[in-house]
Amino acid sequence: MATETEQARTDGDAPPYRYTGALAAEIEARWQGRWAAEGTFVVPRTTEPGPAGKFFLMDMFPYPSGEGLHVGHPLGYIATDIFGRYLRMTGWRVLHTLGYDAYGLPAEQYAIETGTDPRSTTEANIRRYRAQIARLGLAHDPTRSVATTDESFYRWTQWIFLQIYNAWYDERGQRARPITELAAAYEAGGVPTPDGRPWSELSERERADALDARRLAYRARVPVNWCPGLGTVLANEEVTADGRSERGNFPVLRRELTQWMMRITAYADRLLEDLEHLDWPESVKTMQRNWIGRSEGASIDFPLRGTGAALEVFTTRPDTLFGATYMVVAPEHPLVDTLVPDAWPAPAPQSWTGGHATPLEAVDEYRSRAAAMTERDRQAEARPKAGVWTGAYATNPASGEAVPVFVADYVLAGYGTGAIMAVPAHDQRDFDFARTLGLEIRPVVAATDGRDPYDTSGWTDAYVGDGEVINSAGEAVSIDGKRVGDAKRAMVEWMESAGVGRGTVSYKLRDWLFSRQRYWGEPFPIVFDDSGRAHPLPESMLPVRLPDIDDYRPGALDPDDAGSDPEPPLARATDWVEVTVDLGDGPRRYRRETDTMPQWAGSCWYELRYLDPGNDRELVAPQLEEFWMGPQREGDTGGVDLYVGGVEHAVLHLLYSRFWHKVLHDLGHLSSREPFRRLFNQGYIQAYAYTDRRGVHVPAGEVVERGGRYWYGDEPVTRSYGKMGKSLKNSVSPDEICNRYGADTLRLYEMYMGPLDVSRPWETKAVVGQLRFLQRVWRNLLDEATGSPTVVDEAPDPGTERLLHATIDAVRAEMEALRFNTAISRLIELNNHLTARRAPVARSVAEPFVLMLSPFAPHAAEELWARLGHDATLAYEPFPQADPGKLSSATVTYPVQVDGKVRATVEVPADASATDVEAAALAGVAGWTEGRAVAKVVVVPGRIVSVVLTKRA
């Protein structure tokens, strides 16, 4: 194993086999080469579990940016690698690999900035990431790594799109079904047609429309963040607080455009229910629950006076219907135009009319002002409630009273029905609005907090608590005297029987906007005919390749022109856009869809492709999916056994992928109901950052400390602290650490810094501690001058043996719980013990030690293992097992407390009875109990003795 060149590479006059950064680098390169050559971590395409079972282990895959990795990125990868190596050594068949999420706006922007095409920059970035990650010695199956931009990958992304497009949601069966079954359901009358006419009376075109109306992927006109300056719509996360684009700082305008949508709302209840079965952090589950935002309530129809129409509202408080003294519709509500009369029907105060001569004028003026505001402006806190009367009245269905209808932007068009009944006495927002406009506040629930339940003149806020219903008796219905809960039920019951309302459920979750006017994404497998109708391409025509084009920039338009239309870059690929295909009725000319899919698309399903990356006939072979991800017991959802990544994906990625997974499950492609059975959020690596006096970040690596202050060159700078990354200019490259200390030291350091789920500050000068640890291990087992092992084939001393088994016991427990920081502490303690003995280490201690070290420092451990005389890799060696007989010693030391304070320790035989322990303890603290009676003695076996004295008089 030792070579002449090794010696030439060691530092200065250090012994030739001292474990230094240089020696580590050499060892690491050698073992990485050997693992690759021998295919050590390649997982066969079979369905054979290990003795302990199978384990599908996964990281959230990286987006390969142009900056390369910093030491924060691989934190999770190192953790999963350690866990995977441990699992392998404890008999599990482990599937672990890493792919690349490579489509999306950052790659495209980077390409534009560097003047190269996205494909070549993306490929270069992936190569760089692969090289940087390879240096860390991760035991990934290299044959399963995929990139979302691979044709062999995105062809299946497109295939899944077609599956979703060709499906509808059967509410009765609560699952997706193929669209072909919808026609049958329409025909049989099981599902009503959009306008209620029988299926047989519909024309061909109407039938196609009826099918399109229920698809899970559909086109609709929706409000979007339109950024003419960038020529694309943007996701909400790409819009800054002041309504401009994150990239380029162009205005972002609200505009209605026809876009592809995904009907994720159909799955709202199932996405909610299955959270119960997932082993996920409670915080992430809560975020998803809030995002879905299910609330139970009622829909109520308020007839509009003077028209045949009714205004439908959603409320969670049907019990307060008698307290509804006015109504509010959102400015965008479709009924606004029809309900506005020509003139004010009655004299109205200035606060209602805004001083306008006619309702139309008032409403128009208010609406145009609301439209000019950005979404952020509208939602700004502490903005006084404002609005105008529409001039219309509706009828409260319970009391028969006339209630005025207002337009106000505190009601959102996108939630519920976009209209509310306002109960100012019991809703804070309505209360604020009523006080501003001078509207009646009528209590209908008796307040129990001391305020006057009947006279609201002294109220400073709405009463939202429970209480007895009052003022709620009418000719049709009376609920006076009931508590809020009962009153809700009674009201819904009455409304349903009277036909004026019904119990309903509302969600905050919206359908998912799935189009982007960008180049660098998956093309849709869709073409349009002359009439503009969308047609899916058949599976045989996949993949629809992303064409190479000369100018992949988005169309640059007047940044302030909200009326402009997007010009997707693909539209300029005219040869590609115009296509002649035969969709069953002979070859015809079509135009391709020129939008592309959002960045989430590939990450929605990549876990499935890891299972069967080379399969060109199926997304994944069913038996492989069932083996790796299938449910394992009654009620189990199935899914990846452990998914590790940052909490920033708590909602979007993790909700979208759950949605796709459920559709594919419903359509019979997957046995698992959920993609990720267990989720773990690792913390971030943070670091100090420095700003100059203009507040601009300076490179943290070049800042020096002098006299308690920080300097960048001659300029004093201010220290701050935050997540490591490009924006704070505080990145540290893993390459730099690998060069100085080696990858094993980096791995140990990152894991040792703290619990995996907690963010921790990077400190380069602290890394040396882990190098010293490895050096001591090395020196305890090898001769630094020759590299030969110094271990002896003798039995270890009893103390060392006991510590070894205690360490094994503890390390196993820490590993199972992903507590790698404390597992490493245990190994350090054992090694410190070996160091302090200053004697050769017994082989029976050295070998288990090396095996326990190997998940953390695999290269050094492999080298030690080989030098101890083993030929094969230790990756599949059984992990040491503690011998219970060697864990305990002959005696036990008990701390003895008197009145809660430790006063002595006593040593007793391990098999001493509680009585004996008590006697020894009392003898040990005799000096402390003098003159006082012992009231009670608590003996906790193996732990502690607690003596309680009688109270001093």
The CA-CA-CA angle for residues 727, 732, 736, to 5°, reads 150
412 is a site residue for RNA (CB under 7 A): yes
Closest to 857 measured CA to CA, from 24, 10, 16, 11: 24
Q: Which of 287, 310, 562, 919 is close enough to bind RNA by CB under 7 A?
A: 287
Q: In terms of CB distance, is 541 or 937 closer to RNA?
A: 937
Q: In terms of CB distance, is 69 or 806 closer to RNA?
A: 806
What tokens does 838 get? 């200053």
**642-645 vs 53-59, strand pairing mode:** parallel
Residues 309-338 that bind RNA (CB under 7 A): 314-317, 330
Q: In terms of CB distance, is 164 or 650 closer to RNA?
A: 650
C-alpha span between 605 and 845 (Å, rounded):
45
C-alpha span between 681 and 648 (Å, rounded):
9
Q: Which of 66, 106, 142, 293 is close enough to bind RNA by CB under 7 A?
A: 293
Q: Which of 623, 733, 905, 929 is close enough to bind RNA by CB under 7 A?
A: 905
- How near is the Cβ of 234 to RNA at its closest, in Å? 16
Phi, psi angle pair for 182, to nearest 5°: -70, -40
C-alpha span between 136 and 114 (Å, rounded):
29
In angstroms, the Cα distances linking 768 to 327, 594, 744, 773 are 68, 54, 12, 9
DSSP, res 523: B
900 is a site residue for RNA (CB under 7 A): yes
- How near is the Cβ of 501 to RNA at its closest, in Å? 12
Residues 504-523 that bind RNA (CB under 7 A): 506, 508
379 is a site residue for RNA (CB under 7 A): yes
769 is a site residue for RNA (CB under 7 A): yes
Q: Measured in whole angstroms, how far is the alpha carbon of residue 720 from the centre of its chain?
A: 27
125 is a site residue for RNA (CB under 7 A): no
Q: Which of 766, 910, 914, 926 is close enough to bind RNA by CB under 7 A?
A: 766
946 is a site residue for RNA (CB under 7 A): yes
Closest to 442 measured CA to CA, from 355, 281, 320, 314: 320
Q: Which of 85, 760, 843, 867 is close enough to bind RNA by CB under 7 A?
A: 760
C-alpha span between 776 and 831 (Å, rounded):
7
User: Residues binding RNA: what is the number (CB under 7 A)?
Assistant: 83
938 is a site residue for RNA (CB under 7 A): yes
DSSP, res 552: -
C-alpha span between 518 and 709 (Å, rounded):
47
920 is a site residue for RNA (CB under 7 A): no
What tokens does 412 get? 């959102």
65 is a site residue for RNA (CB under 7 A): no
Q: Which of 402, 902, 910, 914 is close enough to bind RNA by CB under 7 A?
A: 902
3-state secondary structure of 266: helix
Q: In terms of CB distance, is 184 or 817 closer to RNA?
A: 817
User: HSE (CB half, 13 Å, CA atoms) of 641?
Assistant: 19
The torsion angle over the Cα atoms of residues 103, 107, 112 and 118, rounded to 10 degrees, is -50
Give the contact letters, 253-282, x = binds to RNA (CB under 7 A), - = no: -----------------------------x
Q: In terms of CB distance, is 30 or 776 closer to RNA?
A: 776
606 is a site residue for RNA (CB under 7 A): no
Q: Which of 172, 901, 951, 952 is close enough to bind RNA by CB under 7 A?
A: 901
C-alpha span between 283 and 737 (Å, rounded):
34
Residues 3-42 that bind RNA (CB under 7 A): 14
Q: Which of 305, 429, 533, 591 is close enough to bind RNA by CB under 7 A?
A: 429
Residues 738-757 that bind RNA (CB under 7 A): 752-755
Task: Identify whether the C-beta of residue 448 lies closer than 8 Å to the C-beta of residue 467.
Answer: yes
3-state secondary structure of 544: coil
Q: In terms of CB distance, is 633 or 951 closer to RNA?
A: 951
Q: In terms of CB distance, is 769 or 909 closer to RNA?
A: 769
- Other CB atoms within 10 A of residue 424 CB: 26
Residues 625-654 that bind RNA (CB under 7 A): 647, 650-651
- How near is the Cβ of 291 to RNA at its closest, in Å? 7
- How near is the Cβ of 572 to RNA at its closest, in Å? 35
Place of tokens 């004093």: 716
Stretch that binds RNA, among 213-221, 226-234, 800-808, 944-952 (CB under 7 A): 944-952
DSSP, res 721: E
Task: Identify whether the C-beta of residue 396 lies closer than 8 Å to the C-beta of residue 300.
Answer: no
In angstroms, the Cα distances linking 95 to 47, 142, 144, 627 are 11, 11, 9, 11
- How near is the Cβ of 505 to RNA at its closest, in Å? 10
- How near is the Cβ of 689 to RNA at its closest, in Å? 14
Q: Burial level of 688, CB count in 10 A (0-12/13-18/19+)?
A: middle
C-alpha span between 59 and 803 (Å, rounded):
34
Q: In terms of CB distance, is 39 or 414 closer to RNA?
A: 414
Q: In terms of CB distance, is 626 or 829 closer to RNA?
A: 829
- How near is the Cβ of 313 to RNA at its closest, in Å? 7
Q: In terms of CB distance, is 537 or 842 closer to RNA?
A: 842
Residues 811-850 that bind RNA (CB under 7 A): 819, 821-822, 824-825, 828-829, 832, 835-836, 838
Strands (E), 174-273: 175-178, 217-227, 232-234, 253-262
Edge to edge, what strands does the sheet with 642-645 contain? 92-95, 53-59, 642-645, 679-681
Q: Which of 415, 528, 688, 711 is close enough to bind RNA by CB under 7 A?
A: 415
C-alpha span between 433 and 441 (Å, rounded):
10
C-alpha span between 213 and 534 (Å, rounded):
12
- List of residues 6+ apart from 933 with CB closer than 8 A: 949, 950
- How near is the Cβ of 747 to RNA at its closest, in Å? 14
C-alpha span between 479 and 483 (Å, rounded):
9
Q: In terms of CB distance, is 134 or 937 closer to RNA?
A: 937
Q: Which of 30, 378, 489, 678 is close enough to bind RNA by CB under 7 A?
A: 378
3-state secondary structure of 365: helix
- How near is the Cβ of 477 to RNA at its closest, in Å? 19
948 is a site residue for RNA (CB under 7 A): yes
Residues 868-897 that bind RNA (CB under 7 A): 893, 895, 897
765 is a site residue for RNA (CB under 7 A): yes
241 is a site residue for RNA (CB under 7 A): no
DSSP, res 260: E
Q: In terms of CB distance, is 556 or 935 closer to RNA?
A: 935
Place of tokens 């050698």: 30
Q: In terms of CB distance, is 150 or 427 closer to RNA?
A: 427
Stretch that binds RNA, among 183-191, 339-347, 408-416, 862-870 (CB under 7 A): 408-416
Give the contact letters, 685-704, x = binds to RNA (CB under 7 A), - = no: --------------------
